[in-house]
Amino acid sequence: MKKNFIARTMALLQAIQGSAFLASKWTQRGFTAFVLMTLTFLVARGAHAITAPAAGSLFYDAYDIVINSMLKGAVGFVAAILIFALSIGLFLMQKVIPGIVGIVCAAILIKADTIVTSLGAVF
């Protein structure tokens, strides 16, 4: 039984190698991405989240300056508006992909405080 399984597996691998299944560069990349995505989902554990540090805790000052004062403050808002305006300009020049990337970046910048707390122990 085990010998038969190994022989079938080897025959399948030779058929895949001999055929045009992975002949294209894009097919190889897509297949590799699919395999990596499947392995990621199989290995992934539960999501973790952190709470924003309380006043007086370790690194509260750094969190307060970077997140509360800059990203949630005027600096982050103005940067997000400028990136959004730049993206609209890219759309007008018919550069769709950079325009979409710019809009996504502006949305990420506006919601940076939520993203920081939701990433948690992932990174």
Phi and psi dihedrals of 49, rounded to 5? -140, 155
Residues 30 and 72 in one domain: no
pLDDT attached to residue 93: 92
Question: Is residue 95 situated within a structural domain?
Answer: yes
Question: Is residue 55 situated within a structural domain?
Answer: no
Number of domains in the chain: 2
Reported as a single tens digit per residue, the pLDDT across 5-40 is 777 777 776 666 655 666 677 777 887 888 888 888
Low-confidence ranges of the chain (pLDDT < 70): 1-3, 13-23, 45-51, 119-123
pLDDT attached to residue 10: 72
Which domain, by its residues, includes 8?
Answer: 2-43
Q: How many CB atoms lie within 10 A of CB 117?
A: 15
Question: Is residue 92 situated within a structural domain?
Answer: yes
Tokens of 99: 């325009």
Separation CA 60–CA 103 (nearest Å): 30
pLDDT attached to residue 123: 44
Question: Is residue 93 situated within a structural domain?
Answer: yes
pTM: 0.51
Q: What single-letter amino acid sits at 14?
A: Q
Separation CA 63–CA 123 (nearest Å): 16
Question: Is residue 54 situated within a structural domain?
Answer: no
pLDDT attached to residue 55: 81
Residues 65 and 23 in one domain: no
Q: Tell the burial category of 6 from Cβ atoms under 10 Å away from its Cβ (0-12, 13-18, 19+).
A: exposed
